[in-house]
Structure 1
Amino acid sequence: MTAPTACFTYGSLMCEDIFRAVAGQACAAEPAQLAGYRRHPVRGEDYPGIRPTAGTAVDGVLYRGLSTTALARLDAFEGAQYQREAVEVRTAGGTVVAAWVYVFHPAQAHRLGAGDWDAAAFMHHGKARFLRRHRPTDRSDM
């Protein structure tokens, strides 16, 4: 398999302004879904983590055309609590695309809360708090 040039996002990076600031580039974005994973809140944080879970799926945003520099910036932003994995996601149009995704590291699983992360609550309340706490690398275009 050729290394993906797309990234599937399911939390704060679904916001194009945050993604652009972290990655350092704008990318084409579209809705997509990752089967076989579940999204959980991270205790004490506004962002989620995913882990493999049979029979479930995560909705998110697929960004295409990442440069190697953008991928390195995403790696640095996600840090040690996530591990980057190659997966296949399905776009809203039904196309299957190879993509990178950041999965919550198994050693950190105790930090995941029960239930599903609430994307709507993040947009209404958590995004501003997230931006204050985590300050993406380049905020000049946010």
Structure 2
Amino acid sequence: MSAHCFTYGSLMCDDIMAKVAGTPLAATPARLDGYRRSPVIGEAYPGMVSMGGEAVEGVLYLDLPESAWPRLDAFEGDEYRREQVPVRLADGRVEMAWTYVFKPEYAARLGAGEWDFERFLATGKARFEALYMGFDTLGRT
């Protein structure tokens, strides 16, 4: 069974997502209402928490194979939990998708303000990839 995945940080980069998921994936822009994305202190990636009146712009990857989920779970680690959420596409349709939400017990690690994807691409992506080399082998034995 396949399912969709809403991403809002480093996995918005299709090359990183393909390495982590183990396969290239079709994607479309999407928005998740009722959540806020913030930088994780000392890291290049963000965390997302439920927050009324806020919204997060991201990427919806479509029809992930079952084999991708253990890899994504391992990549996201202990600070995140996978939740199913309704995301809105550009044409107004709503699709259910899984996403990774920052666990409340780690909320003190979230910084102020909105995480900036364009800044990540310009200054954080190379550092992120250098620090997390090997994520493309997740789930392999």
TM-score (normalised: structure 1): 0.93
Matches within 5 A, 1:1-142: 5-138=3-136
SS in 2 for 1:65: strand
Q: Percent identity?
A: 55
Consecutive unaligned residues of structure 2, counting only runs of 5 or more, are none
Residues 4 and 100 in structure 1, CA contact (< 8 A), matched pair in contact too: no
1:24-71 Cα deviation digits (max 9, x unpaired): 011110000000000000000000000001001000000011111101
Residues 32 and 62 in structure 1, CA contact (< 8 A), matched pair in contact too: yes
Consecutive unaligned residues of structure 1, counting only runs of 5 or more, are none
Residues 4 and 98 in structure 1, CA contact (< 8 A), matched pair in contact too: no
1:65-110 Cα deviation digits (max 9, x unpaired): 1111101100010011000000000011111000000000111101
Distance in 2 separating the partners of 1:29 and 1:41: 23
Residues 32 and 91 in structure 1, CA contact (< 8 A), matched pair in contact too: yes
Aligned-residue CA RMSD (Å): 1.3
Q: CA deviation at 1:137?
A: 2.5
Letter in 2 for 1:57: A
